Amino acid sequence: MDLGEWAAVGNADSGARPLAIEARGLVKRFDGFTAVDGIDLTVPEGSIYGILGPNGAGKTTTLRMLLGIIDPDEGVRRVLGHERPHEIAGQIGYLPEERGLYPAMKAYDAIAFLGSLRGLPLREGRRRGRELLEAHGLGYAADRQIRQLSKGMAQQVQLLGTLVHHPRLVIFDEPFSGLDALNQGKLERMIRGLADNGTTVIFSTHVIAHAERMCDEVAIIAGGKVPFAGPVDVARDRIPPQVMLETRAGDGAWRAAIPADARVARKASGATQWQFSLPPSGVEPLLRALIEGDAGILSLSIERAGLHDAFVAIAGEAAARALEENPEEQR
Amino acid sequence: MAGLAKGRLSTVAAALVVARRDFSAILFSRSFIFFLIGPLFPILVGLMAGSVGDHVQKVDDSPEIGVMMPSDQADRLMTAHRAMQSHMDGALPDFRLMERREVPQAEAQRALQRTHGNLAAIVSGTLESPVLTGPNERIQEWQGPIELVTARALQADPAKVSAVRLAPIATTTRADIRHGQVMTAQAGQMLLFLLTMLLAGMVLSNLVEEKGNKIIEVLAAAIPMDAVFLGKLFAMLAVSMVGIAVWGAAGVGVRLLAGSAMPHLDTPAIGWPSFIGLGIVYFAMAYLLLGTLFLTIGSMAATVREVQTLSMPVTMLQLFVFFFASYAMAKPGSLMEVLAVSIPFSSPYAMLARAAVDPALWPHLAALAWQGAWVGIFVRIGATIFRRRVMKSGAASGRAGRPGLWDRLAGRRQAA
């Protein structure tokens, strides 16, 4: 895609809210295997954006391309308005999936070192490192070597090092993995705090609950493609609400109003349970048919799909489609 | 956040960040202590082996000659021996007075076999007609000295030795100078080789450790990979300079303490200050060439085992280069020497040897320019390969289906 053409698309997408990230048609191949296959992403500034996908879907490769660690084979990206992410490394924070710090470094020094890689003077980094550790209840460990810390503590130190230079854009790759429930909660609060201060936060995860709780928008990656990208509510709406119905009668003229693929279960009491997607015509015609046909409604509820259901459906469809399109590569 | 860089660090600034971290980390690590004392091991082993060898040789080479002559003649012979031995600096074996009686040669042979100690031959007969009995090689060797001592014993005063006044001349022959300078050249080459190999190995293990610590991805996301490459390369060079300074200071201290007891190296043709200065620069060149190669190898390897597999041929090549440069030194002006000086890897060794035997300075300027150009080319190529490969090996991208070492060497890429 031509850069000018792409810029026009980016502007059109951005609307009133400036974009932290715009990516069009990103492709990355490794040894004949297409890890990322034409991904488009638009991440509004100041949002919390989740990149969801099963293991091996291409999340990490996508993030690495956005960070400039690797270059795409095709497509264009613009990060905070720059086509070369390294040029604005001082405005980006990155926590990779595989955490790593120098084992002999002291905690506060490790934070300062990570800051210095992003242009923060060492002295200032050390001062902020101590402050951050203190603020997050790790002040007592400031002078300990990384090798003397537990895995979770070392992870927190690296997390603080990712933020020490006050980045505008923070990218976390699987930030919740390896953290206990308490620290996961702390991290969620920290991410919300960052977004409240205008920082754009992108994180990848395969634990949908975190994304559902926190994200404004998500992109679902499956088989190297993005079958869905947009607000969480829109993702949920991709799956029709589920109707849970219990009737006294098992059959009748009203059966015509129930989709043929509905799941049916007989209860010991003689009642019949039905579960099916809400028909596009809505609930009123269904209710009318049930009442007029004397189905004997014992209970009826309509449940909106969760992000997890949406994810499973969208990612599953995408994987199946990819398998149909290119069975050799998927194998 | 006034004053904070919000773009990115320049390659040089980023290389400095990496170099500063590596420098301080290595300097305060155990590996630096080993680096400092490492060269002592071959020296200590050499000294110990030499000392033990000397001792064994001394025991073996302190044979005695038994004296079996009539007592008055034996006394004269012993007196003459004592008078001469101190003037002949070990050329005369010790004499031991045996039972003073005339014995036939067969009796002397039996005495040699049954007597304890280090009896190697027996001189019997008379002063006018001495008989030396013993193994053929021994008696052939001692025939002359025994004739000298018996001749002295026949003098009126066997103890009297005419003192020879020495009149040394100040001139050393060209051959002496050449020999001494070649020894200096060899010592310089050996030191250069040891240092270079030690450092290149350290830079390699440092990189592998970094990949093991999974920090490389953090670095790759923040700064140009060229900067990581350069930072690591020059940090180790700086560490080595500290090491050289420590060794130099220790060497001067030992020299002052030991004085003339220290082994002496002849002054190189260009003089010691220039030789040491050039030695440091040539070392830097040799290290940068080899370190670049090792870092590039390290970027392609994921495990220590892979590093060993990959670096072994380079180590062998380096040994070959060292021997080649040493061999070429013995053939000044030959095609061999021209090749040794021209090939980038052997050039620092060959030129350091040349500095020891040839006073001309301009060839060194030309050689340094030549080597510098090659360092530039190697660093450029190495950094490019490093940038392309380092994120494609190791745990950061090591998932199922990761291609093997040879796939990577062949340039086949892998999924992240």
Are A31 and B218 an interchain contact pair (Cβ–Cβ within 8 Å)? no
Distance of alpha carbon B395 from alpha carbon B257, whole angstroms: 52
Closest to B216 in 3D by CA, of B301, B290, B287: B301
pLDDT of residue B414: 40
Range of the domain at A2: 1-80+202-233+305-331
What residues in A contact B214, CB-CB < 8 Å? 96, 98-100
User: Is A330 within a domain?
Assistant: yes
Q: Judge if B251 and B181 occupy the same domain.
A: yes
Contacts 24+ apart (CB under 8 A), B86-90: B87/B161, B88/B145
Is residue A168 in some structural domain?
no
Task: CATH number of the domain at A251, please.
Answer: 3.30.70.980
CB count in 10 Å sphere of residue A12: 8
How many domains does the structure of chain A reveal? Answer: 2
- Cβ distance B415 to A35 less than 8 Å, yes or no, reads yes
Q: Which residue has the higher pLDDT, B39 or A8?
A: B39
Predicted local distance difference test score (pLDDT) of residue A298: 94
Residue ranges of chain B whose CB lies within 8 Å of a chain A CB: 1, 3-9, 14, 17, 21, 25, 29, 213-224, 391, 395-396, 399, 401, 403, 407, 412-416
Residue B338 and residue B303 in one domain = yes
State whether B193 and B302 are in the same domain. yes
Asked if A114's CB is within 8 angstroms of B221's CB, the reply is no
A310 and A221 in a common domain: yes
Task: Please indicate, yes or no, if residue B15 is contained in any of the structural domains.
Answer: yes
What confidence category does residue B169 fall into, taking pLDDT thresholds of 50, 70 and 90? low
| Interchain proximity A117–B391, CB inside 8 Å | no
Same domain, B247 and B393: yes
Do both A227 and A246 map to the same domain? Answer: no
Give B1's contacts in chain A (Cβ within 8 Å). Answer: 165-166
In a domain, B52, yes or no: no
Asked if residue A290 lies in contact with residue A202, where contact means CB atoms within 8 angstroms, the answer is no
Q: Give yes or no: residues A290 and A325 share one domain.
A: no
Which tens digits make up the pLDDT trace of B171-188? 666 666 777 777 888 888
Instruction: Indicate whether A294 and A311 sit together in one domain.
Output: no
In this prediction, residue B261 carries a pLDDT of 66
Contacts A124 to B, Cβ<8 Å = 4
Residue closest to A213 by CA, chosen among A240, A195, A238:
A195
Who has greater pLDDT, B349 or B208?
Answer: B349
Kindly list the distances between the CA atom of residue A3 and the CA atoms of A9, A22, A40, A61, in Å, as whole numbers in the listed order. Answer: 10, 12, 14, 22
A172 lies within 8 A of chain B by CB: no
User: What pLDDT sits at residue B394?
Assistant: 40
**Are B128 and B217 within one domain?**
no
Assign A295 to helix, strand or coil.
coil
Question: Both A253 and A309 in a single domain?
Answer: no
The CA R_g of chain A, rounded to the nearest whole Å, is 24
Q: For residue B46, give Cα distances in angstroms to A303, B193, B264.
A: 85, 17, 16
pLDDT of residue B53: 66
Does residue B326 share a domain with residue B240? yes
Domain with residue B74: its CATH number is 3.40.190
Alpha carbon distance A124, A114 (integer Å): 12
Report chain A residues whose CB lies below 8 A from the CB of B220. 69
- Whether A54 maps to a domain, the answer reads yes
Optimal mutation site among B4, B206, B386, interface A, most CBs of chain A within 10 A: B4
B315-364, pLDDT tens digit by residue? 888 888 888 888 888 777 788 888 998 999 999 999 988 888 888 889 99
pLDDT tier for residue B3 given thresholds of 50, 70 and 90? very low
3-state helix, strand, coil in chain B (%, to 5): 70, 5, 25
Which one is predicted more confidently, A13 or A258? A258
Instruction: Mark whether A29 and A18 lie in a shared domain.
Output: yes
Average pLDDT score over residue span B398-413 = 45
Do residue A98 and residue B6 have CB atoms under 8 angstroms apart? no
Evaluate if residue B416 carries a pLDDT over 50. no
Do A15 and A75 fall within a single domain? Answer: yes
Using the predicted structure, report yes or no on whether residue B404 has a pLDDT greater than 60: no
Whether residue B130 is contained in a domain is answered as yes
A307 touching B, CB under 8 A? Answer: no
Please state the pTM of the whole predicted model: 0.72
* Residue numbers in A near B208 (CB within 8 A): none
User: Are B195 and B248 a contacting pair, CB within 8 Å?
Assistant: no
| Structural domain range at position B148 | 64-153
B53 within a domain of the structure (yes/no): no
Same domain for B393 and B335: yes
State the pLDDT confidence band at B71, using cuts at 50, 70 and 90. Answer: confident
Assign residue A311 the CATH number of its domain. 3.40.50.300
Closest CA to A39 of A67, A70, A61: A61
User: What does B339-351 look like in DSSP terms, one character per residue?
Assistant: HHHHSTTTHHHHH
Shared domain for B146 and B182, answered yes or no, is: no
Q: How confident is the model at residue B83 (pLDDT cuts 50, 70, 90)?
A: confident
Domain boundary among B119, B153, B187: B153
A119: left (phi over 0), alpha (psi -120 to 50) or beta: left
pLDDT at position B284 over 50: yes
Predicted confidence at residue B411, as pLDDT, reads 46
For residues B149 and B81, the answer to whether their CB atoms sit within 8 Å is: yes
From residue A293, how far is each of A249, A252, A255, A298, B140 by CA, in Å?
10, 7, 9, 14, 135
- B214 vs A165: CB contact, 8 Å cut-off? no
B206 and B319 part of one domain:
yes
Q: Note whether B141 and B251 are same-domain residues.
A: no
Q: What is the pLDDT of residues A105-152, one digit of tens each?
A: 999 999 999 999 999 999 999 999 999 999 999 999 999 999 999 988
Determine, yes or no, domain membership for A324. yes
User: In this structure, is residue B47 part of a structural domain?
Assistant: no
Of residues B303 and B66, the one with the higher pLDDT is B66
Asked whether the beta carbons of residue A114 and residue B218 sit closer than 8 angstroms, the reply is yes
Report pLDDT digits (tens) over A284-312. Answer: 999 999 999 999 999 999 988 888 888 88
Q: Are B301 and B393 in contact (CB under 8 A)?
A: yes
Asked if the structure places residue A16 within a domain, the reply is: yes
Flag whether B308 is in a domain.
yes
- Contact status of A169 with chain B (Cβ, < 8 Å): no
User: Which pLDDT belongs to residue B407?
Assistant: 52
pLDDT per residue over A317-329, tens digit each?
Answer: 887 777 777 665 5
Q: Is residue A56 scored above 50 in pLDDT?
A: yes
Q: Report how many Cβ contacts below 8 Å link chain A to chain B.
A: 112
Q: What pLDDT score does A220 carry?
A: 93
Whether B55 shows a pLDDT value over 60: the answer reads yes
Residue B4 lies in a domain: no
* Residue A197 CA: distances (Å) to CA of A48, A166, A190, B43, B95: 12, 10, 11, 63, 100
B113 has pLDDT over 50 = yes
> Does ipTM exceed 0.90?
no
Name which of A288, A245, A235 is nearest A265 in CA terms: A245
**Yes or no, beta carbons of A104 and B25 under 8 Å apart:** yes
Q: Give the pair of three-digit tokens for residue A292.
A: 């007029």
The answer on B328 and B195 residing in a single domain is yes
Q: Are residues A8 and A71 in the same domain?
A: yes
Do both B257 and B373 map to the same domain? yes
Same domain, residue pair A260 and A215:
no
Domain count, chain B: 2
